[in-house]
Amino acid sequence: MDMAEAAPDSVRRENIERILEAAERLFRHYGYNKTTVADIARDLGMSPANVYRFFASKEQIHQAICGRMLAASLELNRSIAALPLGAAERLRRCVLTQHKLTVETMLDEQKVHEMVIVAIERDWHVIDKYIDQLHLIYAGLIEEGIRTGEFARQDAASAARCFGAALVTLCHPQQVAQCLMKENRATAEQLVDFAIKALK
């Protein structure tokens, strides 16, 4: 394929990235509900019709942004899973890093939190795919732990789902927001250690 043939795809990708970056910036500043496709187009110096050439709706733009955010989170978890450490320690770091990210990014930036809540309420399939991928990372670490004797023999896929469910209060934005400042709740470290002990 020569450069002339490749140009349309590269230009399309470039336009998609520009739209997503502008939309995310506006969503973060004004909030998802207050931002329109016309606002995104105006920010980019183009017409709304031009934005609609790449995305059918604001919801589709939102899904793509959420997909990017979740992909970055998965990449972070995969990098932790690849560290030369024991399986239990890598599992611990995965969850605590995700919790820290949720607290700092989702809750400290209220508009980002709003974007996540919209995704949970309207675009659950995007979140569902993310959870499936996260469980695959957990399952891989649990399998390693079983092989090395860190964890008891068990079905790794089932254990990964249970592990994720047991720690959902640390990573679900709404539950993190509700539990963060309450003194009668276990700390993130206590919850992770308890879940890891269950694997042993």
Q: What is the pLDDT of residues 47-79, one digit of tens each?
A: 999 999 999 999 899 888 888 888 988 999 999
Residue 41 has pLDDT above 80, yes or no: yes
Give the count of beta carbons closer than 10 Å to the beta carbon of residue 67. 16
**Domain extents in the chain:** 1-55, 67-199
Question: What is the torsional sign of CA 98, 65, 21, 7?
Answer: positive
Using pLDDT thresholds of 50, 70 and 90, give the confidence band for residue 126.
confident
What is the rounded average pLDDT for all residues in the chain? 86
Task: At 98, list the tokens.
Answer: 């995700």
Q: Is residue 5 pLDDT above 50, yes or no?
A: no
Distance CA 158, CA 163 (A): 9
SS3 state at 145: helix
Q: Is the separation of the CB atoms in 65 and 43 below 8 Å?
A: no
Mean pLDDT of all residues in 137-146 = 98
CA atoms within 13 A on the CB side of 143: 10
Q: What is the pLDDT of residues 170-190, one digit of tens each?
A: 877 666 766 666 677 788 899
Query: 96-102 contacts: CB < 8 A, separation 24 or more?
Result: 96/170, 96/188, 96/189, 96/192, 98/73, 98/170, 98/171, 99/170, 99/171, 99/176, 99/188, 101/73, 101/76, 102/170, 102/171, 102/172, 102/173, 102/176
The class that CATH gives domain 67-199 is mainly alpha
Residue 14 has pLDDT above 80, yes or no: yes
State which amino acid sits at residue 156.
Answer: A
- The CATH class of the 1-55 domain is mainly alpha
As a whole number, mean pLDDT of residues 117-146 equals: 86
Q: Give the separation between CA 114 and CA 26, rounded to whole angstroms.
A: 13
**Residue bearing tokens 């209060």:** 169
Q: 22, 40 in Cβ contact below 8 A?
A: yes
pTM: 0.80
Answer yes or no: are the C-beta atoms of 191 and 170 closer than 8 Å.
yes
Angle at which helix 58-81 crosses helix 124-148, to 10 degrees, equals 10
Is 7's pLDDT higher than 60?
no
Q: Cα torsion for 174, 167, 188, 66, to the nearest 10°?
A: -50
Mean pLDDT of 142-166: 97
Per the CB < 8 A criterion, the answer to whether 127 and 74 are in contact is no
Query: Residue 2: is its pLDDT beyond 70?
Result: no
User: At residue 43, does pLDDT exceed 80?
Assistant: yes
